[in-house]
Amino acid sequence: MIWIFRSNQAQATPETERFFARPGNTYLTVSTVEPRKNHAYIMDAFDLAWSRGLDVKLCIIGKVGWKTEALIQRIRNHPEYGRRLLMLNHASDAELEYAYQHSRALVFASFVEGFGLPIVEALHRSLPVIVSDIPVFREVAGDHGLYFDLDHPSSLTEDLARLESDPALLPKSSTAGFHWLSWEAATDQFLERLLGGLASSAAAIPPTKAVTAQ
């Protein structure tokens, strides 16, 4: 299901509002915190960005999943936590909406994914998306996404630096013309392809000869 939050007056906690109000552009990542979502890669890229003097911030929104003990400790104990790094594990819909409205771009680094709902949510709000270069993200975001190499965290860091220096250098992050399928359109597309496949299969089956009794 695709949830599109429509509140125009999204409210956040004072902690979140203070974080977004501080100088520096905030990048957002939204997903369960678990290995497949690749938060460690994002942390590596932002650590590199901070070491190079980029004034960027990272907000992580998502429930804590499995096999994340070391990662959670890394985030909570980070020297930038509360200043240029924030993690919200129990954000409400309104707080998530607030984060979407006040972020510079969505960063999504999964190395395997079924769809990538936050990409649609971000593009719906004209929020640029910077995502890992995997086939499903190419299918969902198309020319509206900026893609980084999962083998090198510096690839994301370089994208951040370009976006900070001149947003016009990233034309593919434009959200103009982005559309997504409604449930009705998705159902129509599924039935069309299903029936088309059945018709093709039926046409490929050779006719059987009638057997007459002797």
pLDDT in the model for residue 158: 95
Distance of CA 190 to the CA centre of its chain: 24
- Residues in a beta bridge with 56: 25
Q: What is the DSSP letter of 77?
A: T
Q: What is the pLDDT along the chain (214 residues), one digit of tens a residue?
A: 344 444 445 678 999 999 999 888 999 999 999 999 999 999 999 999 999 999 999 999 999 999 999 999 999 999 999 999 999 999 999 999 999 999 999 999 999 998 889 999 999 888 889 999 999 999 888 888 889 999 999 999 999 998 888 876 654 445 555 555 555 765 776 688 788 777 777 776 766 655 555 5
Q: What is the DSSP letter of 126?
A: T
pLDDT in the model for residue 177: 58
Structure tokens at 99: 């984060």
Q: Return the residue matching tokens 């980084």.
A: 148
Cα(111)–Cα(96) distance, integer angstroms: 23
pLDDT in the model for residue 178: 54
Q: In this structure, are residues 7 and 98 in contact, taking their beta carbons and an 8 Å threshold?
A: no
pLDDT in the model for residue 4: 43
SS3 152: coil
Instruction: Tally the C-alpha atoms within 13 A of residue 148's C-alpha that lie toward its C-beta.
Output: 28
Q: Provide the CATH number for the domain formed by 14-173 in this structure.
A: 3.40.50.2000
pLDDT in the model for residue 132: 96
Structure tokens at 187: 């159902």
CA dihedral 51, 53, 57, 62 (to 10 degrees): -20
SS3 89: coil
pLDDT in the model for residue 208: 60
Burial of 180 (0-12, 13-18, 19+ CB in 10 A): middle
The amino acid at 73: Q
pLDDT in the model for residue 9: 55
The residue ranges of every structural domain in the chain are 14-173
Q: Return the residue matching tokens 């003097």.
A: 53
The amino acid at 59: C
pLDDT in the model for residue 1: 35
Structure tokens at 158: 């370089």
